[in-house]
Amino acid sequence: MATPRILVADNSEVHSRILSGVLRREAWEVVTAQDGREAVEKASGQAPEVVILRGRMPGMSGMEACRALRRREETRRTPILIFTAEGDVEGLQAALASGCSDYFVAPLDFGELVARIRAYLYRPCAVALPTAG
């Protein structure tokens, strides 16, 4: 597998820089975006292996970006993780309804985040079940 490409969209430059540094230490390529619209644009062409979106961003939110990415053939099956500062059930339900693969509440535990990304990157897409003979 080529170097995994992770797209991170966060309107906080400080948070984006910290998260990017954590992911680069894993030898992953990191592409950043300042909002959901930019994330959707950067996912065009060379789709990332994983997308991480902040739930609330000015302009296009992470949930709106998730819906837009799910409508595109090249990112329809891409793991999309949404993180937000709000840890309520309604936020979780809205994120899952937008089509995200996973949901985190900030502050992020980077060890857990890296473990989840690894699981998405390296798990098999489908398992062939034995047929009855």
CATH number at residue 103: 3.40.50.2300
Q: Is the pLDDT of residue 86 over 70?
A: yes
User: Is 133 contained in some domain?
Assistant: no
Q: Determine, yes or no, domain membership for 127.
A: no
pLDDT of 60 strictly over 70: yes
Asked, for residue 80, whether it belongs to a domain, the answer is yes
pLDDT for res 46: 80
Nearest to 77 by CA among 50, 116, 38, 46: 50
pLDDT of residue 1: 59
Contact 99, 67 (CB under 8 A): yes
Residue 128 covered by a domain: no
Number of domains present in the structure of the chain: 1
- pLDDT surpassing 80 at residue 124: no
- Measured CA to CA, the distance from residue 24 to residue 34 in angstroms comes to 18
The pLDDT score that the predictor gives to residue 70 is 93
Instruction: Please check whether residue 129 lies inside any domain of the structure.
Output: no
- For residue 132, name the pLDDT band (cuts at 50, 70, 90): very low
Residue 71 confidence (pLDDT): 93
Residue 13 included in any domain: yes
For residue 98, give its domain range: 5-122
